[in-house]
Amino acid sequence: MRAAQDYLARLGYYSGPIDGINGPKTRTAVASYQTDSGLPPDGKVSRDLIARLAGAPSPGAQRDKVERVAGPLYEPGDAYAYTDGQVETVLSTSESRVRWQDAKGQQWSADSDFTVPTRRSDPDADVASLRPFTWPLRVGATASYTAKAAASDHADHWQCIVESREQTAVVAGTFDSYKIVCQRGDDPPGTAASRTWYYAPAIGHYVRYVDNAANGARSRDLVAVFPGELGWPPEARTGLEWAVSHALDAEPDGPAVPWQSSAVAARFVIESGSGVDVGHSGECRRFRQTRIAADTTKRVYPGVACRVQNRWRPFGSAAES
């Protein structure tokens, strides 16, 4: 048990004392490591687990492995909820295009690279020329594009750069992110309009967006990402909802709750997190769903749920409203 705690601490999973006591922090750390390694998250220490921990790569190597394959990632049915009240759902994807729909039923098509303007954000603009980012990102990478109004000869020239890498705290959690800044090049110095995204490779999407325009600034943060459940039978949807509620009913940072169904190819692991204030009258808490596909590929879906009439409801979901 001491060896397991020591290895888990070196890998960043465990922050408690190396005391050989199989307490809740140790079990949670073991379950988190098992989830990330594609193992059943039973939270139990064994000789096989010790051997696997001993041969695990360093945290830096793990991080680099994730980032080499990181890029914007969208799947039909995925839904993104924000602090401005918007909930946007992926309808379909094809090559580099994504078709979206908001809660009011408005639909639009966008490049999978969210820094490229869409007709929804600029109704009269077409992207006339584009030198896109290369993914995965790196600090110092640049991109540029020209947005031209259809009924005018005027064109806006934008220059983009990955300025830095930082920890970004939003309602959905704290994420290792890349700060991407795009500025309109034709504006006088000090007055240039700009758009800034904080992109989190862990979820394949941005967690914060800030638009500094001539008529004022606006921003929005990510609250939750809901996994697509297209084609799922009602029983499977209800089962996953139960697993989320079961995880949240436990103490914060309690044991992970595994869930799977014969009707769904992937399996899920749900972990409860700390409390968070989202302007809701009741208790609200973060949680995280990890989807593990048949080939062990993992996707993480952060979220927030609030207790309403003694029932946990995901904030921003159809169930919450």
pLDDT per position as a tens digit, 74-88: 999 999 999 999 999
Q: Are residues 280 and 193 in the same domain?
A: no
Helix, strand, or coil (residue 111): strand
Note the pTM of the prediction, 2 decimals: 0.75
68 or 287, higher pLDDT = 287
97 with 190, same domain: the answer is yes
In this prediction, residue 119 carries a pLDDT of: 63
For position 28, what pLDDT does the model report?
Answer: 87
Whether residue 114 is contained in a domain is answered as: yes
- In-domain check, residue 138: yes
| Stretch 51-69: mean pLDDT | 56
Alpha-helical runs (H) found in the chain: 2-10, 24-36, 47-54, 59-68, 234-249
Q: Using 50, 70 and 90 to split pLDDT, how confident is the model at 62? A: very low
Q: Any idea what the CATH number is for the domain that residue 109 is in?
A: 2.40.360.10
- Supply 151's token pair: 């009924």
**Number of H-type helices and E-type strands within the chain:** 5, 16
Domain assignment present for residue 255? The answer is yes
Q: Encode pLDDT of 156-171 as tens digits.
A: 888 999 999 999 999 9
Place of tokens 């989830």: 35
Whether 102 and 212 share a structural domain: yes
Of 126, 19, 135, whose CA–CA distance to 73 is shortest?
135
User: What sign has the CA pseudo-torsion 262, 263, 268, 274?
Assistant: negative
Last residue of a domain, one of 207, 225, 243: 225
Q: Report, as an integer, the average pLDDT of 161-186.
A: 91
Report the domain count for the chain. 3
What's the token pair of residue 245? Answer: 């509620």
Least confident piece of the model among 11-15, 26-30, 104-108, 313-317: 11-15
Residues 205 and 112 in one domain: yes
- Output 186 or 305, whichever has higher pLDDT: 305
Selected residue with higher pLDDT from 195 and 35 = 195
Are 248 and 135 contained in the same domain? no
Tell me how far the alpha carbon of residue 94 is from its chain's centroid: 21
Do residues 86 and 185 both lie within one domain? yes
pLDDT tens by residue, 222-250: 999 999 988 899 999 999 999 999 999 98
Asked if residue 175 and residue 254 are part of one domain, the reply reads no
> Is the pLDDT confidence value at 191 over 70?
no
DSSP-assigned letter for residue 188: P
**Structural domain contains residue 63:** no
Percent of the chain with pLDDT over 90: 47
Does any domain span residue 74? no
The encoded tokens of residue 96 equal: 């580099």
| Residues above pLDDT 70, as percent of the chain | 87
pLDDT value of residue 240: 95
Distance between CA atoms of 254 and 310, rounded to whole angstroms?
A: 19
Q: Is residue 309 part of a domain?
A: yes
Band of residue 214 on the pLDDT scale cut at 50, 70, 90: low
How far is Cα 182 from Cα 88, in angstroms, rounded to an integer?
Answer: 23
The helix/strand/coil state of 274 is strand
Mean per-residue pLDDT, 108-137? 79
pLDDT of residue 24: 86
Average pLDDT over residues 4-32: 85
pLDDT of residue 294: 85
Residue 277 neighbours by CB under 8 Å, 6+ apart: 284
* Residue 42 predicted with pLDDT over 80: yes
Q: Report yes or no on 71 lying in a domain.
A: no
**215 against 95, higher pLDDT:** 95
Quick one: tokens of 302? 């952060």
Residue 228 tokens, joined? 């697509």
Asked if 113 and 96 touch (Cβ cutoff 8 Å), the reply is: yes
Domain boundary among 41, 56, 71: 56
Single-letter amino acid, residue 42: D
Q: Which of 44-53, 263-272, 306-315 has the highest mean pLDDT?
A: 263-272
Domain that holds residue 262: 229-314
How much is the pLDDT for 61? 46
Q: What is the mean pLDDT of residues 265-292?
A: 88
Where among 175, 191, 225 does a domain terminate? Answer: 225
| Pairwise CA distance, residues 223 & 246, whole Å | 21
Q: Are residues 91 and 199 in the same domain?
A: yes
- Whether residue 235 is contained in a domain is answered as yes
**Sequence-distant (≥ 6) Cβ neighbours of residue 262 within 8 angstroms:** none
Mean per-residue pLDDT for 129-152? Answer: 84
**Within this chain, do residues 108 and 198 fall inside the same structural domain, yes or no?**
yes
242 and 221 part of one domain: no
Pick the range with the lowest mean pLDDT from 187-196, 203-212, 234-243: 187-196
Same structural domain for residues 218 and 292? no
User: Based on the domain organization, do 245 and 198 belong to the same domain?
Assistant: no
What is the predicted pLDDT for the residue at 68?
A: 39
Q: What is the mean pLDDT of residues 274-286?
A: 83
